[in-house]
Amino acid sequence: MSAATANGRRPRILISPDLETRATRRGPLLDVVAVDRPYVARVLEEGGTPIIAPIGLDDDAVADLIGVADGLLLTGGDFDVDPALFGEAPLPELGTLKPARTALEVSLLRAAVARGLPVLGVCGGMQLMNVVRGGSLWQDLPSQRPSPVAHSQVQTKDQPGHGVRIMDDTLLRRLCGEELLGVNSTHHQAIKAVGRDLVACAVADDGLVEAIVDPSLPFFLGVQWHPESMFEGAHRAIYRGLIRAAAERMGDTSRHVR
Protein backbone atom coordinates (compact mmCIF):
# COMPACT_ATOMS: atom_id res chain seq x y z
CA MET A 1 0.00 0.00 0.00
CA SER A 2 1.29 3.47 -0.81
CA ALA A 3 0.36 6.74 0.88
CA ALA A 4 2.60 8.87 -1.33
CA THR A 5 1.31 12.38 -1.93
CA ALA A 6 1.14 14.27 -5.20
CA ASN A 7 4.85 15.10 -4.97
CA GLY A 8 5.67 11.40 -4.78
CA ARG A 9 7.07 11.41 -1.24
CA ARG A 10 5.93 8.90 1.36
CA PRO A 11 4.94 10.26 4.78
CA ARG A 12 7.84 10.22 7.23
CA ILE A 13 6.91 8.78 10.60
CA LEU A 14 9.23 9.55 13.51
CA ILE A 15 9.38 6.60 15.91
CA SER A 16 10.51 6.88 19.53
CA PRO A 17 13.10 4.25 20.46
CA ASP A 18 14.00 2.21 23.49
CA LEU A 19 17.39 2.35 25.18
CA GLU A 20 18.77 -1.07 26.08
CA THR A 21 22.00 -2.25 27.67
CA ARG A 22 23.46 -5.34 26.03
CA ALA A 23 26.48 -7.46 26.75
CA THR A 24 29.09 -7.90 24.03
CA ARG A 25 31.34 -10.86 23.30
CA ARG A 26 34.36 -8.90 24.52
CA GLY A 27 32.80 -8.00 27.84
CA PRO A 28 31.89 -4.28 28.02
CA LEU A 29 28.21 -3.38 28.18
CA LEU A 30 26.84 -1.46 25.23
CA ASP A 31 23.95 1.02 25.21
CA VAL A 32 21.75 0.32 22.19
CA VAL A 33 18.97 2.44 20.70
CA ALA A 34 16.40 -0.03 19.36
CA VAL A 35 12.86 -0.27 18.03
CA ASP A 36 10.83 -3.48 17.91
CA ARG A 37 10.47 -4.58 14.31
CA PRO A 38 6.61 -4.70 14.22
CA TYR A 39 6.42 -0.90 14.62
CA VAL A 40 8.65 -0.39 11.60
CA ALA A 41 6.87 -3.12 9.63
CA ARG A 42 3.42 -1.58 10.08
CA VAL A 43 4.61 1.87 9.05
CA LEU A 44 6.24 0.45 5.94
CA GLU A 45 3.27 -1.73 5.04
CA GLU A 46 0.87 1.18 5.23
CA GLY A 47 2.99 3.38 2.99
CA GLY A 48 5.09 5.39 5.42
CA THR A 49 8.83 5.87 5.80
CA PRO A 50 10.00 5.15 9.37
CA ILE A 51 12.62 7.38 10.99
CA ILE A 52 14.10 6.24 14.30
CA ALA A 53 14.75 9.08 16.74
CA PRO A 54 18.03 8.81 18.69
CA ILE A 55 18.05 9.32 22.44
CA GLY A 56 19.87 12.29 23.95
CA LEU A 57 18.69 15.03 21.60
CA ASP A 58 18.62 18.64 22.75
CA ASP A 59 15.69 20.94 21.97
CA ASP A 60 17.22 22.18 18.71
CA ALA A 61 17.80 18.63 17.47
CA VAL A 62 14.25 17.64 18.40
CA ALA A 63 12.93 20.63 16.47
CA ASP A 64 15.03 19.65 13.45
CA LEU A 65 13.67 16.10 13.47
CA ILE A 66 10.08 17.17 13.97
CA GLY A 67 10.56 19.65 11.15
CA VAL A 68 11.22 16.86 8.63
CA ALA A 69 8.63 14.42 10.03
CA ASP A 70 5.00 14.08 9.00
CA GLY A 71 3.81 12.06 11.99
CA LEU A 72 4.95 10.74 15.38
CA LEU A 73 4.69 7.23 16.80
CA LEU A 74 5.34 6.89 20.55
CA THR A 75 6.13 3.25 21.22
CA GLY A 76 5.70 1.09 24.30
CA GLY A 77 8.33 -0.79 26.25
CA ASP A 78 9.19 -2.75 29.36
CA PHE A 79 9.51 0.25 31.68
CA ASP A 80 7.32 2.67 33.64
CA VAL A 81 6.45 6.35 33.49
CA ASP A 82 7.95 8.20 36.46
CA PRO A 83 5.11 9.03 38.91
CA ALA A 84 6.88 12.29 39.73
CA LEU A 85 5.54 13.50 36.37
CA PHE A 86 2.00 13.27 37.72
CA GLY A 87 2.73 14.37 41.27
CA GLU A 88 2.95 11.05 43.09
CA ALA A 89 5.60 9.30 45.14
CA PRO A 90 6.76 5.96 43.74
CA LEU A 91 5.18 2.78 45.06
CA PRO A 92 7.34 -0.26 45.89
CA GLU A 93 5.78 -2.06 42.90
CA LEU A 94 6.94 0.59 40.43
CA GLY A 95 8.99 -0.92 37.62
CA THR A 96 12.13 0.23 35.86
CA LEU A 97 12.34 3.89 34.87
CA LYS A 98 14.14 5.17 31.78
CA PRO A 99 14.53 8.91 32.35
CA ALA A 100 16.46 9.65 29.14
CA ARG A 101 13.86 7.91 26.99
CA THR A 102 10.93 9.55 28.77
CA ALA A 103 12.52 13.00 28.49
CA LEU A 104 13.01 12.51 24.74
CA GLU A 105 9.42 11.36 24.25
CA VAL A 106 8.02 14.31 26.19
CA SER A 107 10.04 16.69 24.00
CA LEU A 108 9.02 14.92 20.80
CA LEU A 109 5.35 14.92 21.80
CA ARG A 110 5.24 18.62 22.66
CA ALA A 111 7.09 19.59 19.50
CA ALA A 112 4.88 17.36 17.34
CA VAL A 113 1.68 18.90 18.70
CA ALA A 114 3.08 22.40 18.23
CA ARG A 115 3.81 21.55 14.57
CA GLY A 116 0.41 19.94 14.03
CA LEU A 117 1.74 16.43 13.39
CA PRO A 118 -0.52 13.37 13.75
CA VAL A 119 0.42 11.41 16.87
CA LEU A 120 -0.17 7.75 17.72
CA GLY A 121 0.80 6.47 21.17
CA VAL A 122 1.03 2.73 21.89
CA CYS A 123 0.85 1.26 25.41
CA GLY A 124 3.38 3.29 27.40
CA GLY A 125 3.26 5.90 24.65
CA MET A 126 -0.45 6.39 25.32
CA GLN A 127 0.21 6.65 29.06
CA LEU A 128 2.79 9.37 28.47
CA MET A 129 0.39 11.30 26.22
CA ASN A 130 -2.08 11.29 29.11
CA VAL A 131 0.50 12.40 31.66
CA VAL A 132 1.78 15.26 29.47
CA ARG A 133 -1.83 16.50 29.36
CA GLY A 134 -1.98 16.55 33.16
CA GLY A 135 -3.55 13.12 33.67
CA SER A 136 -2.41 10.43 36.08
CA LEU A 137 -1.68 6.70 36.04
CA TRP A 138 -2.20 3.68 38.20
CA GLN A 139 1.39 2.86 39.04
CA ASP A 140 0.67 -0.83 39.53
CA LEU A 141 -2.71 -2.27 38.52
CA PRO A 142 -2.50 -5.57 40.47
CA SER A 143 -2.00 -3.81 43.81
CA GLN A 144 -3.97 -0.58 43.21
CA ARG A 145 -6.87 -1.74 41.06
CA PRO A 146 -7.34 -5.53 41.22
CA SER A 147 -9.53 -6.91 38.45
CA PRO A 148 -10.61 -10.25 36.97
CA VAL A 149 -9.51 -8.91 33.59
CA ALA A 150 -5.92 -10.01 32.84
CA HIS A 151 -4.07 -6.85 31.85
CA SER A 152 -0.76 -8.67 31.68
CA GLN A 153 -1.45 -11.75 29.57
CA VAL A 154 0.63 -14.92 29.45
CA GLN A 155 0.04 -15.58 25.75
CA THR A 156 2.09 -13.89 23.04
CA LYS A 157 1.14 -10.44 21.77
CA ASP A 158 -0.27 -11.77 18.51
CA GLN A 159 -3.14 -13.24 20.56
CA PRO A 160 -5.94 -11.26 22.26
CA GLY A 161 -5.97 -11.18 26.05
CA HIS A 162 -9.34 -9.47 26.60
CA GLY A 163 -11.89 -7.34 24.81
CA VAL A 164 -12.51 -3.61 24.64
CA ARG A 165 -15.58 -1.58 23.74
CA ILE A 166 -14.96 1.34 21.38
CA MET A 167 -17.20 4.36 21.79
CA ASP A 168 -19.44 5.60 18.96
CA ASP A 169 -18.53 8.69 16.96
CA THR A 170 -14.81 8.65 17.80
CA LEU A 171 -11.70 8.54 15.64
CA LEU A 172 -10.90 5.04 16.87
CA ARG A 173 -14.37 3.75 15.99
CA ARG A 174 -14.13 5.25 12.51
CA LEU A 175 -10.75 3.63 11.98
CA CYS A 176 -11.61 0.17 13.32
CA GLY A 177 -15.24 0.04 12.21
CA GLU A 178 -16.11 -2.19 15.17
CA GLU A 179 -17.61 -1.66 18.61
CA LEU A 180 -16.06 -4.74 20.22
CA LEU A 181 -12.43 -5.65 19.61
CA GLY A 182 -10.12 -8.29 21.04
CA VAL A 183 -6.80 -6.79 22.11
CA ASN A 184 -3.54 -7.95 23.58
CA SER A 185 -2.61 -6.71 27.04
CA THR A 186 0.93 -6.44 28.43
CA HIS A 187 0.94 -3.61 30.96
CA HIS A 188 0.80 -3.02 34.70
CA GLN A 189 0.41 0.77 34.56
CA ALA A 190 -2.74 2.35 33.13
CA ILE A 191 -4.69 5.59 32.99
CA LYS A 192 -6.28 6.65 36.26
CA ALA A 193 -7.43 10.24 35.55
CA VAL A 194 -7.80 11.29 31.93
CA GLY A 195 -5.80 14.38 30.96
CA ARG A 196 -7.16 17.71 29.78
CA ASP A 197 -8.90 17.87 26.41
CA LEU A 198 -8.69 14.09 26.12
CA VAL A 199 -11.62 11.68 25.86
CA ALA A 200 -11.63 7.99 26.72
CA CYS A 201 -12.69 6.26 23.49
CA ALA A 202 -12.32 2.59 24.49
CA VAL A 203 -12.68 0.70 27.78
CA ALA A 204 -12.11 -2.85 28.96
CA ASP A 205 -14.85 -4.93 30.60
CA ASP A 206 -13.66 -3.72 34.01
CA GLY A 207 -13.97 -0.05 32.96
CA LEU A 208 -10.25 0.54 32.58
CA VAL A 209 -9.44 3.17 29.94
CA GLU A 210 -7.93 1.46 26.89
CA ALA A 211 -7.74 4.35 24.41
CA ILE A 212 -7.75 8.14 24.42
CA VAL A 213 -8.24 10.80 21.77
CA ASP A 214 -8.16 14.58 21.54
CA PRO A 215 -11.19 15.26 19.34
CA SER A 216 -10.07 18.85 18.70
CA LEU A 217 -7.02 17.66 16.72
CA PRO A 218 -7.00 15.87 13.35
CA PHE A 219 -5.15 12.81 14.76
CA PHE A 220 -4.08 12.51 18.39
CA LEU A 221 -4.77 8.92 19.45
CA GLY A 222 -3.42 6.58 22.11
CA VAL A 223 -4.18 2.88 22.57
CA GLN A 224 -3.22 0.73 25.53
CA TRP A 225 -2.64 -2.40 23.46
CA HIS A 226 -0.12 -3.22 20.71
CA PRO A 227 -1.99 -3.14 17.39
CA GLU A 228 1.26 -3.65 15.47
CA SER A 229 1.44 -7.19 16.90
CA MET A 230 -2.13 -8.16 15.92
CA PHE A 231 -3.20 -9.32 12.47
CA GLU A 232 -6.86 -8.33 12.20
CA GLY A 233 -7.74 -5.55 9.81
CA ALA A 234 -9.11 -3.39 12.63
CA HIS A 235 -5.68 -3.26 14.28
CA ARG A 236 -3.83 -2.57 11.04
CA ALA A 237 -6.35 0.22 10.35
CA ILE A 238 -4.95 2.18 13.31
CA TYR A 239 -1.56 2.43 11.61
CA ARG A 240 -3.24 3.06 8.27
CA GLY A 241 -5.04 5.99 9.86
CA LEU A 242 -1.77 7.46 11.13
CA ILE A 243 -0.15 7.25 7.71
CA ARG A 244 -3.18 8.72 5.95
CA ALA A 245 -3.36 11.59 8.43
CA ALA A 246 0.34 12.27 7.86
CA ALA A 247 -0.18 12.23 4.08
CA GLU A 248 -3.11 14.64 4.39
CA ARG A 249 -1.04 17.01 6.49
CA MET A 250 1.73 16.95 3.87
CA GLY A 251 -0.78 18.37 1.43
CA ASP A 252 -1.80 21.22 3.75
CA THR A 253 0.84 21.98 6.36
CA SER A 254 -0.43 25.47 7.12
CA ARG A 255 -3.87 24.39 8.31
CA HIS A 256 -2.70 22.45 11.37
CA VAL A 257 0.38 24.34 12.57
CA ARG A 258 -0.25 26.22 15.82
Angle between helices 233-251 and 37-45 in degrees, nearest 10: 60
3-state secondary structure the chain: CCCCCCCCCCCEEEECCEEEEEECCCCCEEEEEECCHHHHHHHHHCCCEEEECCCCCCHHHHHHHHHHCCEEEECCCCCECCHHHHCCCCCCCCCCECHHHHHHHHHHHHHHHHHCCCEEEECHHHHHHHHHCCCEEECCHHHHCCCCCCCECCCCCCCCCEEEEECCCCHHHHHHCCCEEEECCECCCEEEECCCCCEEEEEECCCCEEEEECCCCCCEEEECCCHHHCCCHHHHHHHHHHHHHHHHHHHCHHHHCC
Q: Alpha carbon of 218 to those of 53, 66, 117, 198: distances in Å? A: 23, 17, 9, 13
175-193: burial string, b at 16+ Cβ within 10 Å, e else = bbebeebbbbbbbbbbbbe
The CA distance from 199 to 183, in Å, is 19
Catalytic residue annotation: 123, 226, 228
